[in-house]
Structures are given as C-alpha cells and as structure tokens.
Chains A and B, each alone.
Chain A
Amino acid sequence: MIRRGGGTIGRKFLLAGCSATLMATPALAAPWVRGYVVDKYEPAFYYGAKNGTMSAGSDCPKGTNPDNNYNVLLKTSWRPDAEVEDILRPATLQVNGKFNTRREQRLSAALRNRGFRRDIDSWVNPFTAPDPGTQEVTGKIAEGFDLDRNPKTGFTSPGGEMGIDNNLYRVMGCNMSYRGVPYTAYLSTRATDKMLEGLYTIVVRVSGNKDPMNDDDAIVEIGYSPDHIIKNSVGVIPDYSYKIAKSAQYTRMKAKIRNGVIETEQVSELRLPVFAWFENNRGEALFYNGRMRLTIEGDAGLKGLLGGYRDWRDVYGKDTFDTSSSAGTRETYYRENQIGKYYSFKRNADGVRDPKTGKNIGISAAYRFTAVRAYVVDPVKPATINEPVTSSVPGVYRALFLKAATTKAVIPGPPRKAGEYDGDSDPKDLSPESKPTSSKEVVANNGAPVPAP
C-alpha cells in the first residue's frame, strides 16, 4: 500500500520518468497515453430548476418528492389504527411519560411489513403491497445516450440529440437525495466526499497512436484503483500515480477521438466501480450495451458520461439491501419509497429482454463524472480490489428478492438479529424513554454496582 503523507512523494514520482514523455507533450502520429483519476461521480440526472435541490422544475413540476405519507403506507387490513398512530407519534411528543425517540427505528421496522399479511417482508416481496405511486420525472430533457439507436424513444439531450435513454432518471430523478444542479445533490456530495476520503478510486486511461485530440484508433480503459486519491484542502492533486486493477470493475473499449471528444464503442458489458457513499454499497456496476463519452478539458482533466442498461432488479436489490434494512433508511431519512420504486422500475424497464419471460430486465441509465490528470499504471504484480468489509446478510436478502421477483411466490425473509446494524443510520440508538433514572441503576467505573444511599 502506498500511504498518504510521507508516502505521497514517492507516489507522485512513481513511474513518472517512463510516462512523462508519453504525457507531457502529445506528439503527432506517435503512441500516447493519458491518465486520469475521477474526482466527482454521480447519476446523470438533469435538474430542471435553476438552483437548490427542492424547487419545482421542468423535470419534476411538483418539486422534489416530499416526505412519505406514512399513515397511508402503514395502513393495511391487519394493522390497527392505534398501532399506526403510536408508531407515527412525533419523537418529541411525550405520552404517558414517554417520548418516541426511537420513532424512525420503529417506523423503519413497520415499513418492512405492509403486504397483505403481517409476516410478509414487503421489501423482499414488494409485489405483495399495493403500488403507492411515485412522482416520476416528466420532463423531456435528459443526459445519456441513444442506447437503442431509436431517436423516437426517450428524452432529448440538453444539446438537442433525440432518443436519449435514461429511465433510471425517470424513476429516481425526483427524489431528494439525487436532485440538484450537477454534483450538488445530497448523495452526490456525500459520495464524492467519501470517494476523496478513500472509499474507492476510479481511474481512466486513454491511449492511441496518433493525436490525443484526434485519433480513430484509441483505447479507453476505466477501472478500480486500490490507491487512495491524493488530495489537499483544495481538491485532488494532479499527477499522482494510481495502479489499475483489471480483475473486476474494469473495462477496455475501442474509441474514436474528434477534437478532444472521445466516443467509445458500445460494448456488451461495461464494468466499473458503482456509485457508492459508504462501505456497504460499493462494488461493481454492470452496464449492458454500455458506452462512454469523454471530453478532454485542456491539460487539467476531462469530463465523462457513461451509460448502458442496468439490471433493474440488481439496482433495486442493492438500493434496498445495502444492509439488511437500508430500505428503512431510504423510506425515512431519504424520503424514498422502495415499493413505489419497484413498480416504477418494472414500468420503465426498457432494455435487455429476458428470452424466457419476454420482459425487459434492463433499465437505461447514465452517470457522469469529472477527472483530474494522473498517471495510471500497470503494476508488476496485478493490482487487486479491496473488497468491502460487509456482512453477507444483505446478499441473502437480495437473493431472496430476486427469487421472489422471478417466481412471484412469497418468500420469507431471513430471521433478523436483534439490534442489527443498518450501517447507514444510527447503529446504537439505545435512547431511553423518558423516565427518572433510579440510583439503583448506577454502576461504578469498574462495572460494580453502587448501593443506593
């Protein structure tokens, strides 16, 4: 591992000698290589308002999706109204001497069960709950690619290109966590901060044989680097070296360059690190029929757009089960609705037809990023991916969901552990309800009880 701090000097000049001649002065009709490290990365969701994150705009005329109406969501044939009322009591409202300080945890737990029977895990079996409806993007403009090469379907790009396919945006673009001018949405800023902090690193390498600004025979590689991004208080520092891992989360594509705009071929599988904001949800993103467009921005860096079809069941599964109960976080803190999302994914799946069912399992998507100049190097010993430190339980949930979604049979969820850590919210909220604390509860520094006076 190459550390930050003192180690960075070594990193900065690692292999610089052999790469500098390839990078510093692009030579015409000669082999060349340019490397970049991604410093911002987010879903390419077009924001139809002028500023902020909540305003109504051409994308979402009603503005950002409001908080869920939990009275409606929790209303089932089997759940008494009094139970709903007690769960939803404001955390700060005292009744019978008790605050409801664990309201969000109670609410999250209750939201898991809103199917036609109390014992059904609705996030594993979303089809057992009615579609609550969700505001989808109704605007006409979106970023992305014409993946199906049909200009009559999809959005129009900000530049006027017809047929832009980005239905992930249609499904999720009005949600609070994803809305805002580029790189300002809540989860975008959070994910970028974590990426710069060392959660994961994405590198891009472009190479060719002619002119870096115009080359019909270029190669684009994108992948994971085990090296942490080197930054200071201003931002990512250019010209550091990053190893690239090729074992997974990696794709190599042919490309053509015209006036500094790099267009890759459309590949059957485009793999790279997934957009992530904490340990549990990082990993690989797989885009079917994927492609990229990179625009070189002088010597400083580039901006990129990538797109393709993602298996919507995989997107739903990871979004709902980053942890065993992350759907609860989505449906409370993030004001999203997983059941509504499930139905919206099904409605908007627009690619990758399953030959067995005849239904689409792919949803078109696009992500954008910016990158800073760097050295992307192949180490002597192949670089490997630092796998996330996560529990295997979320994977069990995702598999159960996939089985349920495929068979439409109600699948029981695995038994939950008491106090299971969500990972994305407060793990240890042992908040006491309001009560006088008896001296009998006092313990000494070494754990020994102290007698009451």
Chain B
Amino acid sequence: MKLDRRFLLRGMFQGSAISVALPFLDCFLDSNGAALAATGKRIPTRFGTYFWGCGLTKELYLPKKTGLDYDATPQLAALEPYKKKINLISGMRAIVDDSPNYQHWTGSAAISTGICPVKDRQFDAQTIDQTIAAAIGQGARFKSIEVACSGNKGDSVSSLGGPNTNPPEVSPLGLYTRLFGPGFQDPSKGDWKPDPQVLVQQSALSVVADDRKRMLQYVGANDRARIDQYFTSVRELEQTMAAQLQRPEVVAEVAIPSAPGEMEVNKSVPVLRGVVPVMAQLVALGLATDQTRVVNVSLAEGASTIFMPGDPKPFHQATHEEPIDAALGYQAVTSHFSTYSMEFFAMLVKALDDVKEGDGTLLDHSLLLAYTDTGFAKLHTLDNIPMFLAGSASGRIKTGYHIAGGDSPVSRVGLTIQQAMGIPIDNWGTGSMQTKKPVSEILA
C-alpha cells in the first residue's frame, strides 16, 4: 500500500465514493485539540474583542492611581458599574522597529497580532481572536462572529492574516439571521435536531475507518505511532462531531427573541445608540447558546468617522482640526467622541453581564479585549494606547485593576490573554514587540 502526502482515505457513502485527504484532516484536527479539552459539561470560556478608533483623551480617562480601587474618571463613567469586572491597561506602546507607522493601522494591528505590520492595511499574522478561536471554537456552530456596528463591511478587525478580514455582520437583522436564522436549532426547545451537515461529515469519517485499519498493516513501528497519533486526532474529531450531534449544554438563562426589524445603520452617534445595544444583546445570546465562542465587535474604522448630527466634524476630522483648548488642556469636541466610544463598550459589557450563567454571568466566563489604534489621535501616537480586559475568563484573570504598562510593548496583553485562554505559549510578538512578560498582576 503506497502512502504519501497525497494519500487519501477512501470509502463509499450512500452509493457515492468519498475520500478524505490526510493533510486536510491533520490540519483540521490540530486546530481542535484544545477545543476538545474545553468541551464536556464545563461552561466554555469565551473570547471577544471590541475595537474603536482614535483612542481616548488622556486627561479625561487616565486614573491617577494604579492597582485596585483606582480613581473614577469622566471618560470611563459608563464603565463604572462594571469596574470590578474590568482591567484598565495604560502606558503600553507599539514599537515599530524598522516598519513605518501606518496611521490608524499600526497600533491596532500590533495589539491584535503582536507584530507592527510591514505593509499598510495588511496583517502580518492572524489576529489573536482567530488564534483563540482555533483553540476553543470547535464544537460551536461558528468559529467566530464578526460585527461592524457602523454598517461598514470594511470595518472588521478579525483576519487570518494578509489584507483580508473576516466579513462582519453589519446590521442587527443580519446578525440575528446569522445566529438564529436557517440552520439554528434552539437548544432549549424540545424539537432540537442535529445539523445535517455534521451528520454527513461523521458518516464520511466512519466509512474510511476500514481503510484506516488496512493501512496500519503496511507501516513500521515509528510510522505506526505517528499515524496512530494522527488517528487519535481523527477520533477526537469524531468525538467533537458527536458532541455537535447532541443538544448543547446551555446553562445560561436566555430566550431567543424574535427577529429584529430592519434598522437604520450608520455612524451617527444617535443611530449607534440604537444599534449597538441590539448588536450587543445578539452577540451575548450567540455566546450563551454556544453558536460561537469568539466574537469581534468593531464600532467603526481606525480613522473613526462616527459623528454627532449637528457637530461640524466627524470624530477623525475633529482630532486633526480641533486645537487643544488651552484652558482645558485637551480637545473638547474630540473628547466627546472618545466618551461615546466608551459608552458603546459599556453596552457590550452590560449585555454579557446581564446573562446569568451557572454561578455567575456570561461576562464572568468570558474575556473581552477592548482596544484602539492610537494613544493620541491628533498625532497618531503609538505610546500610551489604552486597552481594557473585561471579564475574568472563568477565574483565570483577576479584575478591577488599573495596570500602568511603563512603556512596555502592547504585545504583553496579547500574551496574557492567550495564557489565560489556555494556549500554551511563553512568548508572543516579533522584533521589539516580542515579549515573555505577561501582565502577571492580573493572571490568577
């Protein structure tokens, strides 16, 4: 029996020849091991991101104190009810080395990939959410869900690398349809049925089992061990699929609402105030019902053009044109947009915290990274970029802290997140962004 990298496992299913290529399965299975470890009756830990453009106003958001019980600040007022479930991280920077500072791009890409990008509008690696989704997402219906509250399909911040991003849902109805439209089986209902596509995949694996046994007769001990390892992964995949053929263990107290009507979606702040809470609630429901374990929510693009009707300039334009008020010490109009961006983040946090789940809330069983692209949008600075970690990742993260980063690389946050999510790495990032130092103060 000839075995090579083009080897296919073949069998018959419902009268049709089927084949399974080893590399495909191998790759597929490699990305599932950790997810399997997370299945069973434990409540899964979920991961999410919230991205907003053009940063915050240092004079209005940065607390004077660090550690626990830091002082409240005006720009974070909307987050105050959840302060004990959130970590604020300030004072970290993206270090470009020989790469340019691509405005409204380098900072956010550095946070989400650990690499300051070589090319504009391109990721040098997959974003952290996709790394985590590969580890924890299997078993859920969707590997990840992306949402652009602005209604702009170009505003996704999730990518497998390169110039393309994962297409986002751009309206509440679209998000609802994706999560709870055709193909959705409400796990709380009595008529729950397994996904037919999973049935087909399971059957396909089953019929190659005979071929698998036959192949093992023709290989030596070393290869036998390696192939056995490989088939362990196949069996794990079978178990994963078996899990998907069973009703999800949903412990959250949720009910699936009816579909929202079509809503106006754009970058107007009043419109966003209507859209974001609906998007946030749908995202929370999607996580609670295990439709996905990874979500990425963007408010708008890096050079954020959210606007307030009646104001002369949108956010990004205001950052450039509005002088710093000599008396206040900051840009007054611009600061309002930063405050709005935090209000929208608070809506997402609230939606997750409103879902009761086991002995806590969905937020307690999640880790939500909120990040932006710059420390000071007027100058496109890459230092003092504010970040937040909401939720305790099922107890793996201590919360309620203000961490001052001391000019250290933003990749420390990504390393911390991955370690908290169970990914076995001890360093992350490249060049001067490479770090072995997680934010140990908050790792439980």
Residues of chain A touching chain B, judged by Cβ–Cβ distance below 8 Å, are 1, 3-5, 51-54, 67, 90-94, 99, 101, 104, 176, 186, 189-190, 193-194, 197-199, 228, 232-233, 278-279, 332-335, 386, 388-389, 421, 423-439, 441-445, 447, 450-453
Contact = CB atoms under 8 A, between A and B. Distances in A.
A94 B152 CA distance: 18
Contact of B96 (A67, A197, A452): A197
B341 interface: no
Task: Describe A's contact surface by its main secondary structure.
Answer: loop
Nearest to B105: A427
Interface in B363-398: 378-383
Given A193-B381, A441-B170, A233 B305 contact: no
Interface string B293-337: 000000001010101111111101100110110100000000000
Contact of B305 (A101, A194, A279, A423): A101
11 contacts: A4-B97, A92-B307, A92-B314, A99-B266, A101-B307, A186-B378, A233-B407, A278-B101, A424-B103, A429-B301, A453-B177
A434 B121 contact: no
Contacts of B432: 3-5
A296 to B, nearest CB: 29
A145 B182 CA distance: 76
A51 B177 contact: no
Contact of A450 (B177, B262, B307): B177
Q: Closest 3 interchain pairs by CB?
A: A442-B174, A426-B303, A437-B171
A333 B177 contact: no
A199 B91 CA distance: 21
Given A3-B431, A421-B120, A432 B151 contact: yes
Nearest to A424: B103
B67 interface: no
Interface of B: 91, 95-98, 100-105, 120-121, 142-146, 150-154, 166-167, 169-171, 173-174, 177-178, 181-182, 259, 262-268, 271, 301, 303, 305, 307-314, 316-317, 320-321, 323-324, 326, 378-383, 406-407, 431-432
Given A101-B267, A424-B103, A429-B301, A441 B380 contact: no
B274 to A, nearest CB: 12
B301 A445 contact: no
Contact of B101 (A92, A279, A432): A279
Contacts of A194: 101, 380
Given A52-B326, A443-B153, 19 more contacts: A4-B97, A92-B310, A190-B378, A193-B380, A278-B380, A333-B317, A333-B320, A335-B321, A426-B305, A428-B121, A434-B264, A437-B263, A439-B174, A444-B178, A445-B145, A450-B178, A451-B182, A453-B177, A453-B182
A48 B183 CA distance: 70
Contacts of A94: 309
Contacts of B174: 437, 439, 441-442, 450
A5 to B, nearest CB: 5
Contact of B169 (A3, A425, A442, A452): A442
Contact of A443 (B167, B173, B266, B379): B167
B317 A442 contact: no
Contacts of B105: 427
A427 B121 contact: yes
A197 B97 CA distance: 8
A438 B406 CA distance: 47
Contact of A445 (B153, B154, B167, B314): B167
Contact of A434 (B95, B268, B380): B268
Nearest to B406: A233
Given A232-B407, A445-B142, A436 B264 contact: yes
A51 B326 contact: yes
A194 B145 CA distance: 35
B95 A1 contact: no
A1 B379 contact: no
B156 to A, nearest CB: 10
Nearest to A329: B320
B166 A438 contact: no
A335 B317 CA distance: 12
Nearest to B158: A445
B167 A198 contact: no
A197 B91 CA distance: 15
A190 B378 CA distance: 8
Contacts of A1: 97-98
Nearest to B183: A450
Contact of B144 (A232, A426, A445): A445
A431 B152 contact: yes
Contacts of B104: 426-427
Contacts of B169: 442
Contacts of B301: 426, 428-429
A447 to B, nearest CB: 6
Contacts of A428: 121, 154, 301, 303
B296 to A, nearest CB: 10
Contact of A425 (B98, B303, B383, B406): B303
A443 B96 CA distance: 34
A93 B312 CA distance: 9
Contacts of A450: 174, 177-178, 181-182
A52 B327 CA distance: 10
A431 B150 contact: yes
A92 B100 contact: no
Given A4-B432, A233-B91, A428-B301, A197 B181 contact: no
A452 B177 contact: yes
Nearest to B261: A436
Given A433-B266, A450-B177, A190 B305 contact: no
Given A425-B303, A447-B167, A101 B266 contact: yes
Scoring B97, B146, B150, B271 by chain A CB atoms within 10 A of each residue's CB, the highest score goes to B97
A349 B19 CA distance: 77
B1 to A, nearest CB: 35
B231 to A, nearest CB: 27
